[in-house]
Amino acid sequence: MPSIENWILNPLDVINRMFESRESDTEWKQKVDEFFARKLQDEKLNSLVPSMNNEALHNLPPNTLMKFRCMIQDSYEPEYFLDTYQLVDKSTGDKKTGSSRYKDVIDRPGYDVIMESKDNETGCRQVVYCVAVPGENQWVKQVYVKPQTELKTTKTNEGNPIIPVNYYEDFAVLLAPNFPKQSEPQHPPPQTAHNDYLSTPKQPPQITPTSYPPPGNEQTSQNVEKHHPIPGEDGPVCIVKVYDETMELKVNETYEFTGVFSVDPIFSTPFDPMDCNGVDEDHMMELKSRSPPSSLVPRLHVVSMKPLKHINPLLPATIPKKISEDFTQSARYLRDDLIEFLKRLTFGDEIVAQSLLFHLLSRVYTRTGTMAVGKLTLNITGIPPNSSYPKLFADVIANLVTKTHYLPMTLDNMNKLKFTPKKDYQKNKLEPGFLQLSGGTHLVIDETQLHPGSLDPMGVKNVQALSSLMTSQKVDYDFQFYATPFYHDVNCVVLSEAKSMLPCDLQVKLTPDTPVATNLEEYFARLPPSDEMLNKLRVYLTLGWMGDYDMEPSVMKQIENDFVASRSSDNEKMSADDLHRLLVVARLQSASLGKSKLELSDWSVVKQFDETRKEKMK
């Protein structure tokens, strides 16, 4: 059996031995798949495989096994290659068979390839362009790189550390409900009247809206586009090659690919047009775009892959039944603690805290026609301009969930940023747009930054794209001659002074119930709970967001009766849209308690919540 050093540090050697000892063309390929699948199913062994996300590219040795946690940004046409080929020894004339599977080039010193051999076989592999997950928060990166103190570190027989990125035996502790309540800060900041927390201070702090680079993609020193959807992000990118032709790979989905890391010297320099005499200019542009230097955009030949339903490093990729059971028992207590934390974030406003909880747990769980069922876009009003609160709010949310981005809705951003991806037919590539985000991303939109002025045609198009995302979780990608709808699952919360210009499912006004700090930065610096509590809340939000949902026919019948009775007494009291919103909130109320089925008690709580919310809006 190959040692750890062999199959991780030299996977091609393991693959070549299987090829040399093959009994048939299909049998050896299946053996390769089974070998690496078996190795990588062992979490301790899996944790030994280096990740492109954690190291600078120049520190990663070529032709070793490597992982990449990423989102598919673009898909290319299938790539054809010599799966098997005949070789002839230059000195002896002896012939043998080789394979270029899991390789970019054929490199056999002392041999010539017999290109016209009838024994040569052509293979096909899928090719996708992948980027580090857009909006991935810093705490996620840190836990993947260096797990928190709760994670156990074990050692192999050779003494090498194995640091798993998942909780297993510790889940009972992680989800334990009997943790101490978080105490209030011992030295609270100075207090003022209730509404002063959002007013412009006498000497307002310098709030600089997030500034983005000029429209376009990140350029490296060799002028190579890296195609990150969010301007300013500069995580690793990779051209990933998948040998399973039956696998359906979709743009915007997240995966963890494991494969042979290739930075072959033949791709180490920028594309040289002089190498393509006789190629027309349009095709040359495509070749240049598709052949970036491997030192900047490496290749990964996949031996194993798994779709990622979430990227929370505190949880295993596939949630075991035991964890779900622990969550069901502990969710009620964790919910109470999260509500208390969100109340501090919203200065004691329980209705806004509850609305925010529902929003954080929402996701599109089904689609009916153009309707994205399950989404809950939130509009928090009462936020005046020139306040640092929206950015501080976004930072808190980023510390709770795995993927976020803060968007100051300035005229400059709206007019200059490219929100929708666009197909470049010269390069035959999909140019990224700001809204090309993976499922489960939280977008915090600061509408208080929108000052009087005019939107140019690009700005109007961007607002329309944002509105479409919030209404139907759909963005029309620009393919120049036509628009192609791409469906998303992005949670959007808008912070605004009055009712937002963007369409939102739930609107609530922030009205502090407790005196708050004059210095918001100081207040928010003291806001985070302990690391242990923070991890509990992060796990709670991920498990609640992923939970299944069902409704008993008897409960549905009671809801229908309530709707009919409400319409009979007052035709304007509850519309069909109101009922849909309440059904979504009722599902989220159940999810927040760790339940998969709606109970009548939850429906009653939701009706009371909505009545209180409407009273606040008057």
pLDDT digits (tens, 9 = 90+) for 437-492: 999 999 999 999 999 999 999 999 999 999 999 999 999 999 998 999 999 999 99
Sheet strands (E) in 366-487: 366-368, 371-373, 378-381, 404-408, 422-424, 429-431, 442-446, 474-478, 483-487
| 3-state secondary structure (DSSP) of residue 491 | strand
- Lookup: tokens for 58: 């120049």
- For 369, residues 6+ apart whose C-beta sits below 8 A from its C-beta are none
- For 596, residues 6+ apart whose C-beta sits below 8 A from its C-beta are 547, 548, 549, 550, 590
- With beta carbons less than 8 A apart as the criterion, state whether 406 and 394 touch: yes
Q: What is the Cα–Cα distance from 289 to 273, expressed in whole angstroms?
A: 12
Q: What is the Cα–Cα distance from 207 to 406, expressed in whole angstroms?
A: 14
- With beta carbons less than 8 A apart as the criterion, state whether 60 and 299 touch: no
Q: For the domain covering 321-547, report its CATH number.
A: 3.40.50.300
Q: What is the SS3 string spanning 62-115?
A: CCCEEEEEEEEEEECCCEEEEEEEEEEECCCCCEEEEECCCCCCCCCCCEEECC
- With beta carbons less than 8 A apart as the criterion, state whether 180 and 337 touch: no
Q: What is the Cα–Cα distance from 614 to 389, expressed in whole angstroms?
A: 24
Q: Beta partners for 69?
A: 256
Query: Region 489-516: what's the mean pLDDT?
Result: 94
Query: Region 203-223: what's the mean pLDDT?
Result: 48
Q: What is the Cα–Cα distance from 412 to 462, expressed in whole angstroms?
A: 12
- Lookup: tokens for 332: 């009620």
pLDDT of residue 274: 56
Query: Region 569-589: what's the mean pLDDT?
Result: 83
Report the DSSP pairing between strands 65-75 and 254-262.
antiparallel
Report the DSSP pairing between strands 404-408 and 442-446.
parallel
563 pLDDT band, cuts 50/70/90, is confident
Q: What is the Cα–Cα distance from 548 to 180, expressed in whole angstroms?
A: 29
Q: Beta partners for 112?
A: 88
- With beta carbons less than 8 A apart as the criterion, state whether 302 and 241 touch: yes
Counting beta carbons within 10 angstroms of the beta carbon of residue 74, is it exposed (0 to 12), middle (13 to 18) or buried (19 or more)? buried
Q: Which of these ranges, 128-137, 169-178, 230-239, 254-263, has the smallest mean pLDDT?
A: 169-178
Q: What is the Cα–Cα distance from 397 to 406, expressed in whole angstroms?
A: 10
Concatenating the DSSP letter of every residue in 257-305 gives EEEEEE--GGGSS---GGG-TT--HHHHHHHHHH---TTTS-EEEEEEE
Q: For 367-419, write each residue's pLDDT tens digit.
A: 988 899 999 999 999 998 889 999 999 999 999 999 999 999 999 999 999 99
Nearest to 256 by CA among 304, 207, 316: 304
| 3-state secondary structure (DSSP) of residue 32 | helix
576 pLDDT band, cuts 50/70/90, is confident
- Within 13 A of 109's CA, how many CA atoms are on the CB side? 0
Q: C-alpha angle with apex 360: 359 to 365, nearest 5 degrees?
A: 80
Nearest to 503 by CA among 420, 358, 379, 351: 379
In which element (H, E) is residue 583 found? Answer: helix 576-592
- Lookup: tokens for 414: 């709206």
Q: What is the Cα–Cα distance from 173 to 536, expressed in whole angstroms?
A: 9
Q: Beta partners for 98?
A: 85
pLDDT of residue 567: 78
pLDDT of residue 3: 57
Query: b or e along 425-444 (b: 16 or more beta carbons within 10 Å of the residue's beta carbon)?
Result: eebbbbbbbbbbbbbbbbbb
In which element (H, E) is residue 392 found? Answer: helix 389-398
> Does residue 200 carry a pLDDT above 80?
no
> Does residue 131 carry a pLDDT above 90?
yes
Nearest to 235 by CA among 396, 416, 73: 73
- Distance (Å) of CA 393 to CA 389, 495, 570: 6, 9, 38
- Distance (Å) of CA 596 to CA 552, 556, 602: 11, 15, 12
pLDDT of residue 191: 42
Q: What is the Cα–Cα distance from 234 to 136, expressed in whole angstroms?
A: 12
Sheet holding 404-408, edge to edge: 404-408, 442-446, 491-495, 378-381, 506-509
- With beta carbons less than 8 A apart as the criterion, state whether 502 and 450 touch: no
213 pLDDT band, cuts 50/70/90, is low
Q: Where are the alpha helices (DSSP H) in 96-224?
A: 138-145, 171-174
Q: What is the Cα–Cα distance from 154 to 173, expressed in whole angstroms?
A: 19
Q: Where are the domains of the chain?
A: 1-149+226-269+281-308, 321-547
Query: Region 514-518: what's the mean pLDDT?
Result: 77
| 3-state secondary structure (DSSP) of residue 154 | strand
